[in-house]
Structure formats: structure tokens, C-alpha cells
Homo-oligomer: A and B are copies of this chain.
Amino acid sequence: MSVLEKAAQVIDVLNRNLGPAKLGVIADEVGLPKSSAHRLLNEMVGLGMARRLEDGNYTSGYRLVQWGHAADLALGIRQAAEPIMRRLSDEVAESVHLHVPEGNHRVCAAGVPGPQTLRPVIRLGTILPLGVGASGKLLLAYATDRARAEARQQADDATEASWPDEGQLALLRERGWATSTAEVESGLTAISAAVLTRTGEALGALTVAGASSRLPAERCAELRPLVVGSAREIARALGA
């Protein structure tokens, strides 16, 4: 295993615990001998990827924030989309996500938490499969044949069983929106609208998601035009 991969795992551990972690714990979780973990962490501290607190524990370093911020700017999407998403979130009083396609999966590129206590947690950069959930199916409909085939291959049995056929995908492409209930998780309902370029490619999928009890069919129908409208607005803001 390469150093880079190990470093990535260490960072993941540091971030997962959302708090300082001891050397031993890190070494354990990554599956490294203490001495190796020690050497690696020392180097990472030197490069600013990690920090060492006075009490000896390790945490994420400023360099990660720097990189993330810069990468955000490079992607650009977040800056353009978040104001619009925030407004939508206020209007519908639910959490709003934006997923972008990336190879044969999708990545969370922006998110605004809703006012509810029970709400989907937003974690930027999280990878989710195509084909699952409202935005998953929607992005699948716009994906290349190759990405679609790969995504299907990676799907688990349950997902594979309910895989949308060509007709359904064509319908989704025509409408530009999708809904899902209990696909990603039981109790979770989502309404998703495509953010399209002028040429009809999908830049991303804008999604309102919340507890199913708060989002029955009629409420979804109410929300749908708002989601579709905001998605169009984001597309415009991106110059598409």
C-alpha cells in the first residue's frame, strides 16, 4: 500500500472522529504499527495536513481547509448554487442538496441544512451510487452508456432488481425531475430536479430531502415546481 493511500486513510480517521485522536487509536484504525503511524503523522504535521495539540493528540491541519476551499473555488458550483439553495431551503423548510455526476457515481457538491432536527446529514464530498434515490436515478438518466453500465454492475441485489429500464430513463429525461421514497434509507423522501446545460447535459441534481412523514405525495407535488425552478436558476447562474 502506498504512502499516499495511508495518509488519506489517516485523514479520514482524523475527520471521522471529529475530534482529536491519539496516536495509538489512529494506528489501530488504519492498521499500522505504532512506529509507522508515528513517522507518517510526523511528516503530515510538517506538511500542515495534521496538527498536534498540546496534549499530544492529533487533529486535521489547516492545509486541508486550504485545499478544500481552493478546490471549492475551482469547482465553482458551490458559490453559484448555495445562495439559491439557501432560499429554496427557507421556502420549503427542508434540507437541500446538490449532487454532481462523477464517473459512475455522484458526489455531494453543496448542501443547506433545513430547520428540522430530523434531517439528512450533509457531508460535502460524500460519494453515492447512481441509480439509487431521486437524484441518483435522475443523474443516471443523463449519464453516458458506459457510466450507466458500470453503475449497474456495482449495484447491490436490491438496487439491481428495481433498476430503471430505458423507458423510465427516457421519462425522467423528458420531465427533468424525479422523486423517491425510502430508496436510500427508510423514512427518507426526496424530490430532485436536474441542473442542465444548454446542450441538455446534466451538471447536477438539486434535491429537497426530508422525513417521509413530512413529505406525502401532495406536499411533494406542491414542492416540485419550486425545486425545478431553483434548478433552472442554478443552471442560469452557472452560465449554462
Residues of A that sit less than 8 Å from B by CB: 2-5, 7-8, 11, 14-16, 18-19, 43-44, 47-49, 51, 59-75, 102, 107, 109, 123-127
Partner of A63, one of B49, B72, B125: B125
Are B44 and A4 in touch, CB under 8 angstroms?
Answer: yes
A60 touches B51 (CB 8 A): no
User: Are A2 and B5 in contact (CB-based, < 8 A)?
Assistant: no
Tell me the bound Cα distance from A65 to B15 in angstroms.
12
Contacts known (A60-B74, A102-B62); A69 close to B5, Cβ less than 8 A: no
How many Å lie between the Cα of A102 and that of B14 in the bound state?
Answer: 18
Contacts of A62 in B (CB 8 A): 71, 102, 107, 109, 125, 127
Determine how close the nearest CB of chain B comes to the CB of A155; give it in whole angstroms.
20
Is the CB–CB distance between A74 and B123 below 8 Å?
no
- Residues of chain B within 8 A of A7, CB atoms compared: 4
Q: 27 A-B residue contacts at CB 8 Å?
A: A2-B43, A3-B3, A4-B4, A5-B47, A11-B67, A14-B74, A15-B66, A15-B67, A15-B74, A18-B70, A19-B74, A59-B74, A62-B102, A62-B107, A64-B64, A64-B70, A65-B68, A65-B124, A65-B125, A66-B68, A66-B123, A66-B126, A67-B67, A67-B68, A68-B68, A68-B71, A69-B124
A51 to B74, CA, bound (A): 12
- Specify which chain B residues have a CB less than 8 angstroms from the CB of A49 in the assembled complex: 4, 8
The residue in chain B whose Cβ has the minimal distance to the Cβ of A16 is: B70
Assess the A63–B8 pair: CB atoms within 8 A.
Answer: yes
Q: Are A47 and B127 in contact (CB under 8 A)?
A: no
Nearest-CB residue, chain B, relative to A66: B125
Query: Which of A3, A60, A71, A107 has most B Cβ within 10 Å?
Result: A71
Residues of B within 8 A of A67 (CB): 11, 15, 60, 64, 67-68, 125
